[in-house]
Chains A and B, each alone.
Chain A
Amino acid sequence: MSEQFITSIPSVSPRNHNHVTWFDSLFAGAAWFAAATVLIVIGAILFVLIQGALPALYKFGPGFISSAHWNPVTENFGARVPIYGTLITSMLAMLIAMPVSFGIALFITELCPRWLKRPIGIAVELLAAIPSIIYGMWGLFVFAPLFADHAQPWITEHFGTLPIVGVLFTGPPLGIGLFTASLILAIMVIPFISAIMRDVFEATPRVLKESAYGLGSTTWEVVRHVVLPYTKIGVIGGVMVGLGRALGETMAVTFVIGNAHKLSNSLFMPGNTISSTLANEFTEAVNPIYTSSLISLGLILFLISFIVLAVARALLLRLQANEGLST
């Protein structure tokens, strides 16, 4: 039916038509190639990572993941400290960034006066455009001293003595460490998450919202029972984009995390992430097993990102399935 429709367009003469199919197949081929490039590049990266990581994985075995040693002198390496640092900073960053981003998006779409919408929207987008190294420098030169001198001693004094969670807030007031890194990461991912949340919130049909308001709902009730259910897939997608960025962020974290291969219970103590370890140590890693251990870290980061994406997908699928049940 549709083919008939296309051939019946009068402006396409047989000669032209030939030309168009030729161009069409070229275009299709190019598009295929572009799409295939992604797979080829991913495959190549994975291959090179595995190949480079093999010597270290062979030498240290599964213990590589659980060992907290990182000793270039004795060539004994383990990934526990950077894995721990990567996961803790990313999760803490999401914990801080999610409510703030939600607030921003909610304010812009539901509460903001019309004239203020654009300035705030542009400011959020500008935040996303700032290079990460600027955030790192701000963290080290501006935030860390203020935090160390004014906030940290107070927090340590008041929360450091609490049972169980108190240990998270102990340590000398350095101003740098896991917590500062998480906070900088949170500030960096907020624009991404809030921009996506704002866009999906705005995609909620007016009719639905206005009917809810018409039934006497408060703003919160509209958001909770209309906007969020309608946009949950987009919201989760936004959070995952933010998490992906937080997991791999390098320079800003390197500035403020303290770069110490030490496992510490306190959030105020220095630590390390996978990407900052790589940034710091790759240039001077001369021994093959040292280089291989660093590449293994890269492989682990690759896998962590992959798992995060897979979990996000699974979550979305389950949500969609549930939706199918409820309607």
Chain B
Amino acid sequence: MSLKISTGLLTMLAVLLINIGGAVTPAHAGVQAISGAGATFPYPVYAKWAAVYAKKTGIKMNYQSIGSGGGIKQIKAKTVDFGASDAPLTAADLDKSGLIQFPMIMGGVVPVVHLPGIASGQLKMTGKLLADIYLGKIKRWNDRRLKAENPGVSLPSKAITVVHRADGSGTTWIYTNYLSKVSPDWKRKVGNAKAVSWPVGIGGKGNEGVASYVTRIKGAIGYVEYAYALQNHMTHVKLGNRAGKFLDPDSASFQAAAANADWHHAKGFYMVLTNQPGAKSWPITGASFILVYKKQSHPARGREVLKFFDWAYHNGQKMAAKLDYVPMPASVVKLVEQTWRKSVKTPQGTPVWTH
């Protein structure tokens, strides 16, 4: 991850530096740079895309990973050309602020544990058990319900230390959304948000905070983005999905969850990919969204933003996969670009996106 972040940072730095140069050129010289802000989770891949895109077209994309909430605030304040959020806005909320959203990239949230002697994928877990652990109802690893799901695995008589995010985050939103779907108790007592009132446990700041607590504390359980689990060689659990199958997290199971989702009928692309049907669907999958205004007051800039994401949809899959992200399926991309054509307009009412 640190490599990801440091290359990302370098890119950002470069983008920023060149931006300063771009800012002094007169406006009629055309759009030199576009800017966005928001979710931290897709930052490494956006930064990578921005670097490659700048080399190809000379147009800089400056993305500040200030968090989904910050991204929503910034786009509503119109200080950036696009916002980015890990949690989708509802259709009503979008209409109210005159925004549209579209999914850009996907990833999965992975429950990770630290139990000496237990290897990755050895421990089976269901959503209900996960919810009860996070509710503080299951307190020890040798709980009879955990043992019933894992015959043949020797579970220690150790206290379970729950680790959650201390900061508000899209990852938490996706995770608590899943727990709310599988556990009525969780839904009633805690609920679904970017930050919740955790019944038990300790909070780590960021994915790296949770990862470091889990790797440090024996008997800990936490949840992190897939890339973190992979790169830090953390012990993940096999999670039971809606079809009752126990899966390991990987890009195939994330993509299965997205493919089984009904994007055509999702109003304003409000689509949550948790607990999707399908035998191969990873149950805690999420998409990261981009927000742009329907009515573009600077159509030229708006066009460049859409051009960038169009390029990323069609040329960025390999780079995304290399960074352990899951690109959107082609059918969804087609749907997104239809929406652009239909909804993103100049002040005069002509479409901004005509490709």
Asked whether, in the complex, the Cβ of B166 is within 8 Å of the Cβ of A72, the reply is no
Q: Please, could you name 8 A-B residue pairs with CB atoms under 8 Å apart, sorted by A?
A: A72-B193, A172-B159, A174-B202, A260-B201, A261-B198, A281-B195, A283-B167, A286-B69
- Closest Cβ of chain B to A271, distance in Å, is 10
Residue B138 at the A interface, CB < 8 A? Answer: no
Using Cβ atoms and an 8 Å threshold, which residues of chain B touch A285?
A: 69, 168, 195
Contact with B along A133-162 (1 / 0, CB 8 A): 000000011001100100000000000000
Using Cβ atoms and an 8 Å threshold, which residues of chain B touch A276?
A: 166
Using Cβ atoms and an 8 Å threshold, which residues of chain B touch A197?
A: none
Q: State A71–B196 Cα separation when bound (angstroms).
A: 6
Asked whether, in the complex, the Cβ of B196 is within 8 Å of the Cβ of A73, the reply is yes
A residues contacting B by CB (< 8 A) are 69-74, 140-141, 144-145, 148, 172, 174-176, 254, 258-262, 270, 276, 279-281, 283-286
Q: State A254–B204 Cα separation when bound (angstroms).
A: 8
Using Cβ atoms and an 8 Å threshold, which residues of chain A touch B159?
A: 172
Using Cβ atoms and an 8 Å threshold, which residues of chain A touch B161?
A: 172, 174
Asked whether, in the complex, the Cβ of B68 is within 8 Å of the Cβ of A140, the reply is no
Residue B212 at the A interface, CB < 8 A? Answer: yes
- A283 and B202 in contact, given A70-B197, A172-B161 (Cβ under 8 angstroms): no
B residues contacting A by CB (< 8 A) are 66-70, 72-73, 159, 161, 166-169, 190-198, 200-205, 212-213, 216-217, 219
Using Cβ atoms and an 8 Å threshold, which residues of chain B touch A172?
A: 159, 161, 219
- Closest Cβ of chain A to B69, distance in Å, is 4
- Closest Cβ of chain A to B347, distance in Å, is 28
Using Cβ atoms and an 8 Å threshold, which residues of chain B touch A71?
A: 196-197
Q: State A258–B69 Cα separation when bound (angstroms).
A: 23
- A259 and B202 in contact, given A140-B216, A284-B67 (Cβ under 8 angstroms): yes
Asked whether, in the complex, the Cβ of B202 is within 8 Å of the Cβ of A72, the reply is no
Asked whether, in the complex, the Cβ of A284 is within 8 Å of the Cβ of B167, the reply is yes
Q: State A322–B70 Cα separation when bound (angstroms).
A: 55
Which of chain B's residues has its CB closest to A174's CB? B217
Using Cβ atoms and an 8 Å threshold, which residues of chain A touch B166?
A: 254, 259-260, 276, 280-281
Q: State A230–B204 Cα separation when bound (angstroms).
A: 47
Which of chain A's residues has its CB closest to B72's CB? A286
Asked whether, in the complex, the Cβ of A176 is within 8 Å of the Cβ of B202, the reply is yes
Using Cβ atoms and an 8 Å threshold, which residues of chain B touch A254?
A: 166, 205
**Choice from B191, B194, B196, B204 contacting A259 with Cβ under 8 Å:** B204
Most chain B CB atoms below 10 A, which of A140, A145, A280:
A280
Q: State A263–B192 Cα separation when bound (angstroms).
A: 23
Q: State A262–B200 Cα separation when bound (angstroms).
A: 8
Given A74-B197, A259-B203, A280-B203, 5 extra CB contacts under 8 A: A71-B196, A73-B191, A145-B216, A254-B205, A286-B73
Using Cβ atoms and an 8 Å threshold, which residues of chain B touch A175?
A: 216-217
- Closest Cβ of chain B to A52, distance in Å, is 15
Q: State A213–B33 Cα separation when bound (angstroms).
A: 75
Using Cβ atoms and an 8 Å threshold, which residues of chain A touch B194?
A: 72, 284, 286
Asked whether, in the complex, the Cβ of B68 is within 8 Å of the Cβ of A284, the reply is yes
**Choice from B67, B202, B212, B217 contacting A148 with Cβ under 8 Å:** B217
Most chain B CB atoms below 10 A, which of A145, A283, A284:
A284
**Choice from B68, B195, B200 contacting A72 with Cβ under 8 Å:** B195
Q: State A145–B213 Cα separation when bound (angstroms).
A: 10
Asked whether, in the complex, the Cβ of A283 is within 8 Å of the Cβ of B217, the reply is no
- Closest Cβ of chain A to B90, distance in Å, is 13
Using Cβ atoms and an 8 Å threshold, which residues of chain B touch A144?
A: 216
**Choice from A69, A148, A258, A281 contacting B197 with Cβ under 8 Å:** A69
Q: State A69–B196 Cα separation when bound (angstroms).
A: 11
Which of chain B's residues has its CB closest to A261's CB? B197
Asked whether, in the complex, the Cβ of B196 is within 8 Å of the Cβ of A283, the reply is no
Q: State A174–B168 Cα separation when bound (angstroms).
A: 23
Using Cβ atoms and an 8 Å threshold, which residues of chain B touch A260?
A: 166, 198, 201-203
Using Cβ atoms and an 8 Å threshold, which residues of chain B touch A281?
A: 166-168, 195
Which of chain B's residues has its CB closest to A70's CB? B197
Which of chain B's residues has its CB closest to A283's CB? B67
- Closest Cβ of chain A to B14, distance in Å, is 24
Using Cβ atoms and an 8 Å threshold, which residues of chain A touch B167?
A: 280-281, 283-284
- Closest Cβ of chain B to A246, distance in Å, is 20
Asked whether, in the complex, the Cβ of A72 is within 8 Å of the Cβ of B168, the reply is yes
Which of chain B's residues has its CB closest to A177's CB? B202
